Structure 1
């Protein structure tokens, strides 16, 4: 009877490391949101540099406050969408666990999506607090989860471009 070589140098192709990365993103996201929510009141701004502030904002919509002014249905819609996306990403991670760049992208997106879903479930809105501004132009406030989703999306595009060029 053959046994599995426990000392193989072949990289693991399991889903565990990717879920670990997603968990770290969720942890950092939630810790930063809790910290800022304790330090600031809603709408309060703390200048950090000439182009960056901390601000406590409650986003009831999606990216860039899309649909934030609606009657409340968007909370359930975006929560459901986030959960569906997380389940699909977990499926993709299981199916493609050996593809490093692709899975890094998915793990970051997964962590960010779950981080924002947690906010929607607990508070009914997403806590945003990072405010970047240059020459009077303000980027919409965002958070660690949003950043992870954006970095994951860029990595996803790079992975696709790499595949096309092969």
Structure 2
């Protein structure tokens, strides 16, 4: 089987993951923000350990590197878009379905959050998990997809390399 043929299924799976992640992320954000009164009536208790509430994240993961100015906002949009392009190029060469899926999840999440930054200047986060005195950061579907994708990338990297495909070192 040729390399181009072998990479078709992982790429298609990754592309599907990217599109589904982006669509579900944007539909949930737009639906909650414009289609409900969550902003006015938050938090919404979903379970003893989960709420919906609105947090506008102007930073990156876990709210680090907060960007209040316009330049920082657009730098983060550009970095997210460039990362999604690079991940998509990598996805094109992926040889395992897990790698293709994982790259698609990360790229779709990056694009979902980039859209928020471009449109609103911040990312719309709304899921809060907590238990007792423990509280996790507030996140969205794009963030969850990125985390799942990174876990998949780690798992894929731990898989043994088939014989004859090593680096030659």
Aligned to 2:92: 94
Aligned to 2:137: 140
Shift of 1:72: 4.1
Residue correspondence of structure 1 range 33-72 to structure 2 within 5 A: 33-38=29-34, 39=36, 40-41=38-39, 44-68=42-66, 70-72=68-70
Aligned to 2:118: 121
On the 8 A contact 1:26/1:111 being kept in 2, the answer is yes
Gaps of 5+ in 2: 164-169
Cα distance change on mapping 1:131 and 1:122 into 2, 3 Å: same
On the 8 A contact 2:56/2:123 being kept in 1, the answer is yes
Find out whether 1:13 has 2:39 as its counterpart: no
Cα distance change on mapping 1:77 and 1:152 into 2, 3 Å: same
2: CA distance, partners of 1:115 / 1:42: 24
Find out whether 1:32 has 2:28 as its counterpart: yes
Shift of 1:106: 0.2
Deviations 1:39-71 (A, max 9, x none): 211783111111100001111111111122643
Shift of 1:93: 1.3
On the 8 A contact 1:36/1:56 being kept in 2, the answer is no
On the 8 A contact 1:61/1:74 being kept in 2, the answer is no
Gaps of 5+ in 1: 1-9
Aligned to 2:158: 161
How many residue pairs get matched?
A: 156
Aligned to 1:75: 73
On the 8 A contact 1:58/1:128 being kept in 2, the answer is yes
Aligned to 1:85: 83
- The SS at the match of 1:151 is helix
Cα distance change on mapping 1:138 and 1:115 into 2, 3 Å: same
After superposition, the CA RMSD in angstroms is 2.2
